[in-house]
């Protein structure tokens, strides 16, 4: 069955440190890949997406993600986190043909240590 796994439930990093959030998927083909961010009690905001082409994609707020086909991964990175990055981050994947089949991971909560 298709699935999306975010293995880290909660991560704490120091302000200014680098960040990597992991996302692995299980699909027969290369899916469409997304990262969203959610502040407490708010909706989700799209950070970046990957469909094809360059496997390193740039997003908003200084985030980037790299698609690695061999590892079925789409990890999110940021070189230097800010206190305002504290939020919940969701990886999502979709079959190319159906937006209704977007599957979300269970999320990773990011805390920032002053």
Partner 1 sequence: DGGITQSPKYLFRKEGQNVTLSCEQNLNHDAMYWYRQDPGQGLRLIYYSQIVNDFQKGDIAEGYSVSREKKESFPLTVTSAQKNPTAFYLCASSMGDWEQGQFFGPGTRLTVL
Task: Find out whether 58 and 48 touch, Cβ atoms under 8 Å.
Answer: yes
Nearer to partner 1, 15 or 73 (CB): 73
Q: Measure the CA–CA gap between 62 and 58, rounded to whole angstroms.
A: 8
Among 13, 107, 110, 112, binds partner 1 (CB under 8 A): 107
Nearer to partner 1, 27 or 104 (CB): 104
Residue 69: is it exposed, middle or buried by C-beta count within 10 angstroms (0-12/13-18/19+)?
A: exposed
Residue list 15-74, contact with partner 1 (CB under 8 A): 32, 34, 36, 41-46, 49, 51
Nearer to partner 1, 15 or 64 (CB): 64
State residue 67 phi and psi, 5-degree precision.
Answer: -90, 125
User: DSSP character for 16?
Assistant: T
Q: Which stretches of the chain bind partner 1, using CB under 8 A?
A: 4, 9, 32, 34, 36, 41-46, 49, 51, 90, 92, 99-100, 102-107
């Amino acid at each position: 069955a298709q699935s999306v796994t975010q293995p880290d439930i909660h991560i704490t990093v120091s302000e200014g440190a680098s960040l990597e959030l992991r996302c692995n998927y299980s699909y027969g083909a290369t899916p469409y890949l997304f990262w969203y961010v959610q502040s407490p009690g708010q909706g989700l905001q799209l950070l970046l997406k990957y469909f094809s082409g360059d496997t390193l994609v740039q997003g908003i707020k200084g985030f980037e993600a790299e698609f690695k086909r061999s590892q079925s991964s789409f990890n999110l990175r940021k070189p230097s986190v800010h206190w305002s990055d504290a939020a919940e981050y969701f990886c999502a994947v979709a079959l190319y043909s159906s937006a209704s089949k977007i599957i979300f991971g269970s999320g990773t909560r990011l805390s920032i240590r002053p």
